[in-house]
Structure 1
Amino acid sequence: MSFSPVIDVHAHILTEEMMARMRREAPEIGPTLTEVDAEGGVLTVGDIVQRPFPRGGWDLDRRLADLDIAGFDLQVLSNCPQTFLYERDAALTGALCQIQNEAIAELVARHPDRFLGIATLPMQDPARAADELRRAVTRLGLKGAQIGSHIEGRNLDHPALEPVWATAAELGAFILIHPQKAAAGDRTKEFYLKNLIGNPLETTIAAASLVFGGVLERYPDLRICLVHGGGFLPFQTGRMIHGWKERPECRRFITESPEVSIRRLYFDTLTHFGPALRYLTDTFAADHVLLGSDYPFDMGTLEGARQVRAAGLDRPAEEAILGRTAGAWFGIKAAAGAAADA
């Protein structure tokens, strides 16, 4: 019997080679690694400090070993969110995006049996971002892009971003939306709430903006995946529908129930909770749920494939989540093997 490869669609990378190229372009931004030990180090990008930055973020040998431990056949490489740099000059961010995108494409070319890649874009300049998305897909062979949950306070339905959505729809690009600079920062400083609550909140705001701003109604075929199980949005779908029925503000830009647009979205599996994963599949169907690990960060997991198999889903649903849906998008053929049973 043939099986689709197991594909992790949510994984970040910033190798030492990538850092060195970026430092040459922008010494004041970095990135730099310090306090390195066997498990990780401290990553500094401009005034952003990521502690810890696990070793798999830059060490390919460690990453490949971890992929084997996790049972992932392929991993979709994306930039680390610390390098979005939407607050910087657009030309400089654009140059640093090109460096990262070219480096990711090189990694894919060197390890085509283990890696796919998506781009990062200078979203503060939508025309430049659309051009880089087109270059990344048509010239570098990347499969789409990862973008932040907002652009320095501008939500993703902002009219200026229309060139990005139009280009993504035209290219059939995979768009991974990742939280950054989370809302309610002053109230989430303690207990790691900036991540535990702040990141899912960011994803929820981003998704709701796309829905109520009409982006998904205008571009119904966009392939947009929300990380961290879609934040809080999947579990508040009924509230969104009720609001649309009751409040005129919710109907300004959409003519159909928000449920229609919400069902066009995709969600990764990173819920850390079996009942939540079952809710996603029961509510939105397994072909709208994709395996995601958030590798290499501490809120990620290498247990994702095993968690999917332990969720009590039927075999077609398991296969859709673990790789069949993503593989069809990315042109990956199913092959005989034991990965799906590992």
Structure 2
Amino acid sequence: MPYETPAVGRRRLLLMAPAAAAAATTADPAGAAPRHTTGSPGHPGADARAARIDVHHHYTAPAWLAWAERAGLVDPAQLPWWTRWDLDTTLALMDRAGIAKAVVSPAMPVRGFTSPAQRRESVAVALDAAAELTAAHPDRFAFFTPVFPDDPETSRWSIARGLDELGAVGVQTRANTRGVYLGDPSHDRLLAELDERSAVINTHPHELPGTDPARPAVPGIPAFYCDFPLDTTRAAVNLVLNGTLDRYPRLSFVLPHGGGFLPFIATRMEAFAHFLTPKTDAARVRDYLHRFYYDTAAPLGEPAASALLAVADPTRILYGSDWPASPAATITDIAGPALDRDSGLTLLQRRRINRDNALRLMPALADHPRTPGR
């Protein structure tokens, strides 16, 4: 999660490019507005624009915020706006954006804990809040459980508590932890345990190693603006380099923000794969680019969408809002209409991105289909 306040420009965005869309024949009325009703989203030809599943949703639980303040870990007045998550505001945004269900990622904006026990208590409070939210609104929310590659014990506890007991649909982790990127051999024990569960690993970037979040490397350019996409790209390349998906074939990695810079450098990665250490061949690069999942949060513009669709099948792309880090207007007025009307994708392709791909990847999301209202 970004700790700085982003200044998101209100520019015209095209989410998906027609030239790169995979073949499909289902037509869609031109310029049709989203229908904010549930209708019959399970029907193969149904429009899923009012039944989106959002896999990129940050959740700083009010209960966790109160706990962290009591523990002296945060000063709410100094925290960025996206930590002020509110249920009514969120549900209203989801209704306007046609989001039927959001998979929330517990966000705990603390730079350091006083002890491992305090960190585990933090995770416990966040997980309990996410589970309570899901239980109170099973048709609207699900959640990921956090894991920490630098803290195997807390991670194993979070996996057992979140996945096995509370019903999380996957895990959430950072692209790099203390400068060590996903796929590093030091993560093998954790990845093996997740592989046994065929886990979905939802990733998110952060500040680049060696940078101070309070002092941007380039004055005036916050980390989320350029560094976050690079952080995601580094993690993806490291996963390729270490053959992580070959060693743990039941894992599914979701790369945020359209995969960062990865789609743009796909050809470069293939051409110069032999310069990596150890040497890698182009075939592995291509294979991994097709095996990753990608979310649409950014928001994605036409150039990024074209590049993404050139390396990823639409069945591997998932809808993501980035709420509440992204302003409501960006989600409802820019990203949504771009996908709904201006993408060039067919109804079936948009349906897959909006909903079906997430259901196929995380079938438990279908346990509580949306009903009208809350």
Normalising by the residue count of structure 2, what TM-score does the alignment of the two structures yield?
A: 0.76
Tell me, in whole angstroms, the C-alpha distance in 2 between the residues paired with 1:336 and 1:105: 18
Tell me, in whole angstroms, the C-alpha distance in 1 between the residues paired with 2:132 and 2:291: 32
1:337 deviates by 9.3
Tell me, in whole angstroms, the C-alpha distance in 1 between the residues paired with 2:200 and 2:188: 16
Equivalent residue for 1:286, pick from 314, 317, 326: 314
Q: Which has the higher strand share?
A: 1
The correspondence of residues 1-342 of structure 1 with structure 2, limited to 5 A, is: 2=43, 3=46, 5-24=51-70, 27-30=71-74, 32-34=75-77, 42-43=78-79, 50=80, 53-54=81-82, 57-80=84-107, 82-83=109-110, 89-183=115-209, 185=211, 188-244=217-273, 246-247=274-275, 249-251=277-279, 257-272=284-299, 273-298=301-326, 301-303=330-332, 304-309=335-340, 310-331=342-363, 332-333=365-366
Change beyond 3 A, Cα 1:129–1:324: same
Tell me, in whole angstroms, the C-alpha distance in 2 between the residues paired with 1:277 and 1:11: 20
- Whether the 8 Å contact between 1:77 and 1:104 is mirrored in structure 2 is yes
- Whether the 8 Å contact between 2:256 and 2:294 is mirrored in structure 1 is yes
Change beyond 3 A, Cα 1:318–1:214: same
Tell me, in whole angstroms, the C-alpha distance in 2 between the residues paired with 1:109 and 1:337: 15
Deviating more after overlay: 329-338 vs 132-141: 329-338
- Whether the 8 Å contact between 1:7 and 1:326 is mirrored in structure 2 is yes
1:133 deviates by 1.6
Tell me, in whole angstroms, the C-alpha distance in 2 between the residues paired with 1:213 and 1:284: 20
Tell me, in whole angstroms, the C-alpha distance in 2 between the residues paired with 1:208 and 1:81: 27
Change beyond 3 A, Cα 1:170–1:199: same
Tell me, in whole angstroms, the C-alpha distance in 1 between the residues paired with 2:126 and 2:314: 32
SS at match of 1:116: strand
Tell me, in whole angstroms, the C-alpha distance in 2 between the residues paired with 1:162 and 1:86: 24
Which consecutive residues of structure 1, in runs of 5 or more, have no partner in the other structure? 35-41, 44-49
- Code of the residue aligned with 2:61 in structure 1: it is T
Tell me, in whole angstroms, the C-alpha distance in 1 between the residues paired with 2:96 and 2:252: 29
- Code of the residue aligned with 1:6 in structure 2: it is R
Superimposed CA distance per residue, residues 17-47 of structure 1 (whole angstroms, 9 cap, x where no aligned partner): 22123445xx1313x422xxxxxxx41xxxx
Tell me, in whole angstroms, the C-alpha distance in 1 between the residues paired with 2:370 and 2:207: 43
Change beyond 3 A, Cα 1:251–1:138: same
- Whether the 8 Å contact between 1:184 and 1:198 is mirrored in structure 2 is no
Change beyond 3 A, Cα 1:318–1:282: farther
Change beyond 3 A, Cα 1:150–1:22: same
Tell me, in whole angstroms, the C-alpha distance in 1 between the residues paired with 2:336 and 2:143: 20
Tell me, in whole angstroms, the C-alpha distance in 1 between the residues paired with 2:130 and 2:318: 21
Let me know the Cα RMSD of the aligned residues.
2.8
Tell me, in whole angstroms, the C-alpha distance in 2 between the residues paired with 1:99 and 1:162: 27
1:152 deviates by 0.7
- Whether the 8 Å contact between 2:293 and 2:316 is mirrored in structure 1 is yes
- Code of the residue aligned with 1:155 in structure 2: it is Y
Change beyond 3 A, Cα 1:193–1:16: closer
SS at match of 1:257: helix
- Code of the residue aligned with 2:252 in structure 1: it is R
The corresponding residue for 1:37 is none
- Code of the residue aligned with 2:175 in structure 1: it is S
Change beyond 3 A, Cα 1:157–1:70: same
The corresponding residue for 2:36 is none
- Whether the 8 Å contact between 1:157 and 1:210 is mirrored in structure 2 is yes
1:174 deviates by 1.9
Which consecutive residues of structure 2, in runs of 5 or more, have no partner in the other structure? 1-39
- Whether the 8 Å contact between 2:241 and 2:276 is mirrored in structure 1 is no
1:182 deviates by 2.5
Percent identical across equivalent pairs? 28
1:88 deviates by 6.3
Superimposed CA distance per residue, residues 244-297 of structure 1 (whole angstroms, 9 cap, x where no aligned partner): 2x3262427x89522212221111112430342243234311111111111101
- Code of the residue aligned with 2:319 in structure 1: it is L
- Whether the 8 Å contact between 2:169 and 2:200 is mirrored in structure 1 is yes
Superimposed CA distance per residue, residues 169-191 of structure 1 (whole angstroms, 9 cap, x where no aligned partner): 22222211111222474663423
Deviating more after overlay: 296-305 vs 6-15: 296-305
